[in-house]
Amino acid sequence: MRIKLGLACAALLSACSSGPATPASGPEAGSAESITLAASGATNPSIRGKAVIPAAPVTGIPAVAVPAEPLPAGAEQVTVTGSDLKVRRSSLADYLRALSDTSCPAGVKTESAQSIGISAKAVPLQPLNPSRTRIGELTFIAGYHLISPDKRFGGLSGLDILDNGNLLAVSDEGNFVWIDLAQDGLRPVAARIAPMHNAKGDELTGKADGDAEGLAVNAGMALVSFERNHRILAYDLGRCGAAARGAPIVFGGFGEPLPEAFRDADIKVDANEGVEPLGITNDWYLFSGIETKVTGDLSPLSARPIEAPPDFKLRVGVEMPPFVGLDVIPDSTKGNGAVRAFELHRSFNPLSGNGIVISETDLHRYLDQTNLPRRILGEVDERARYIYAETGWRKLAELNIFLTIDNFEGIAAKELPDGKVRLYIISDDNFSASQRTLLMIFDAPRPLRR
């Protein structure tokens, strides 16, 4: 099998084709000339020794490479689309297009999720005091015990709010679960379920590959974080629905595999304590937290462009349990990329059961002017220069055994017209008869500072 790589042919590899080169094809291919590389029996072919994994499998060529030297004029990155490698201008749009094309490749038809029965039984904040509506800084709005006759329903670990106001959750057995709400935006009235797929289109099976934990949705693209096999996959549900395949967000020199990022940050992460908290901004800055605690009893958080390597330099959760859930929304009072991060922290004690803390952290985005180059090469390079810093935090509420509580892991947030924030939290019942799938809804106060 042969693949095209849009680079100058100057002795990059013995597999270079002879004869005149032809222009690279494809969107925004730049002015680079095209060469052809053959597998030639190589187990891990590379260019200048710098190999990366393609976004989609390429038969006979398990790895390709990004050159260490500057790319041709106008071309700043190598991206992957299907089985072709082409030089494109390095832009966020190209990166997202490659993700979408891998998630919904040509020939894949849109599929709908399967409808399942669901009932929602109202539950109070505190069973012994059903009229109670205040807990810390939060106002209790509604609570529901969700039940479905479908055995696949349960294990809900990640949660987000879709553009239509309904909810999307992920199950730690590798399923997407859509939860439709009544017109009041509170009571669940319908549900659908669909299995997750890998980039080849195969269903995820077993805990090793299907342990989905975190969820963040933007513009129809669902980002899902997994434990055990630590990774983040992108599903373009808005383009091909339940047929979407999991596109790795690390490809073609973009990003960095989570295990390597953990090592770079000098954080030892166990199989079941990886990236559970996940959030995304409207302009594609990805927030990923780690359940594992670090020095100072704090929780690591990365806030980087989706196409950049995570760094886990931020710390949240002062004197709080492990970090398991996250959502971020724009801080409408500040702008310039500032966000309000709503965090879910959970502990478990055999005697007292689950303990839950909900907190908020304000984060400001600014240009890091240390070691600035003489010129920024493109949009991706410019985005990587922006970093986040904490500007304040507060504990919003603590839930304990005296309240309606279970193994809460997912949190989703949206700003209301009056400036308050509606919070939805959902529990993982571990498919156990002794636990429940609870959906609790609260309103949080206005921002810390105006």
Q: In which residue ranges of the chain is pLDDT below 50?
A: 1-89, 450
Place of tokens 């359940």: 291
Question: Residue 26 contacts by C-beta under 8 Å, 6 or more apart in sequence?
Answer: 81, 84, 86, 88
Tokens 């020794």 correspond to what residue?
49
Q: Looking at this protein, which amino acid is placed at residue 82? A: G
Over residues 70-108, the pLDDT tens digits come to 444 444 444 443 333 433 346 899 999 999 999 999 999
Pair 427, 435: CB distance under 8 Å: yes
* CA 299/CA 320 separation, integer angstroms: 9
For domain 114-444, which architecture applies? 7 Propeller (2.130)
pTM surpassing 0.85?
Answer: no
Per domain, the residue ranges of the chain are 2-89, 114-444
Query: DSSP per residue over 238-278, as a string?
Result: HHHBTT---EES-BTTBS--HHHHHHHTT----TTSS---E
Cα end-to-end distance, the chain, whole Å: 60
Residue 333: predicted pLDDT: 86
In contact, 172 and 157? CB cutoff 8 Å: yes
State residue 108's pLDDT score. 96
Q: Which two tokens stand for residue 22?
A: 């032809």
Which pLDDT value is given to residue 26? 33
Whole-angstrom Cα distance, residue 138 to residue 140? 6
